[in-house]
Structure 1
Amino acid sequence: MLEIVVPDELVSNFSTWHHVLNYWYLPSSQEDFETFDKEMKQKLTENNVKYVDRKLLKDHNYHDKIKKSWDLIFDLDFYFLFVNEPKEQSAIQATLWEIKIEWVRKITFFTGR
């Protein structure tokens, strides 16, 4: 078993990660949510696109706004009711392409029965 310390930029909040996986907007506040939701509904109606097909919208600003909102997954202090848990209760994850030797703090050898 390895005990490692990884750079902060590789650590994210597990609950907010679902916004990225599902191509959802990650609001920073109730006001932000309401503003984006109103804009999104208007764009979908204007373009005759269903919510489930929202990726088909040709508006690059709309998609950029969604993707930019995902930066919040790396803010471990971020908390918004109904979106994620307070920091003390959050599940924190890291996604690693590699484990660098300088990150390793402890190696515990395991022997099965």
Structure 2
Amino acid sequence: MKLWTIQNFNLYEKFKETKSFNADENYVWDDIIFQYKWMVEQMKKRIGLPTSEKIKYPIWAWCQWNGVKQKRPDLRYSAHLPKGTNGVLLELEVNDKSVLLSDFDDFNGVLNYGYLTDTEEEYDKFYNELERYGVCHEDLYNLDKSSNLLNHYRAKLYDSWERIFDLERDIVDESWSGRKENQSIQATLWEVKWEQVISCKKFVAR
């Protein structure tokens, strides 16, 4: 499987010596650490454990950056790295079994602790039910709060997140989910090895 990962140039310089790299947990923001840990558990379940106990979080890469016609990330766009940062785009060839693919846009819903659905009607139904019980989105997100009701709806919320891995599902409503051919597909893997690198493109982030 061909993937692309964008990394800081300083990491790349070290990578040339170490011949492998994995994620630095110091760069995981505290406010999304729950969602990252959820992804880690999904990876363990779906592709197996990391090769070392020292590996805590995944490396992120692109399988399909912006639809089927633009799989490779376009470095002319901003937000790949902080503006002015020296970076590298590494093209990789990796074993399919070592990668977990997921829908990038849906994962943004996970990061926002949102309920993922195929239609707007399903989405509204979930949050309208919460409102009838006097519960709001912030109550679900606040894990210090606990009750049978909250735990029930949290379980439904977490179950909905697993749809990000179902990349072959039918699109019910394109106005809600977008067109399949425009799908952005991200990849997570435990580590990157030097022998997996096909090419390297240096750039300065815009």
TM over 0.5: yes
* Structure 2 partner of 1:55: 141
What displacement does 1:110 show? 5.0
* Structure 2 partner of 1:94: 187
Q: CA offsets per residue over residues 35-69 of structure 1, 9 Å max, x none?
A: 212212123x2xxx554343235221110000000
Q: TM-score, normalised by structure 1?
A: 0.69
- Greater than 4 Å deviation, 4+ residue runs: 109-112
Q: Quick one: distance in 1 between partners of 2:105 and 2:201?
A: 34
Q: Quick one: distance in 1 between partners of 2:98 and 2:190?
A: 15
What displacement does 1:27 show? 1.4
Moved more, 79-88 or 89-98: 79-88
Q: Which has the higher contact order (CA 8 A, sep 6+)?
A: 1
Q: TM-score, normalised by structure 2?
A: 0.42
The residue matched to 2:186 in structure 1 has which SS? strand
* Structure 1 partner of 2:123: 33
The runs of 5 or more residues in structure 1 that have no matched partner are: none
| Residue of structure 2 aligned with 1:16, choices 102, 106, 119 | 106
Q: Quick one: distance in 1 between partners of 2:201 and 2:186?
A: 26
Q: Quick one: distance in 1 between partners of 2:124 and 2:176?
A: 14
Question: Aligned in 2, Cα 1:53/1:81: closer, same or farther, shift over 3 Å?
Answer: farther
The runs of 5 or more residues in structure 2 that have no matched partner are: 1-90
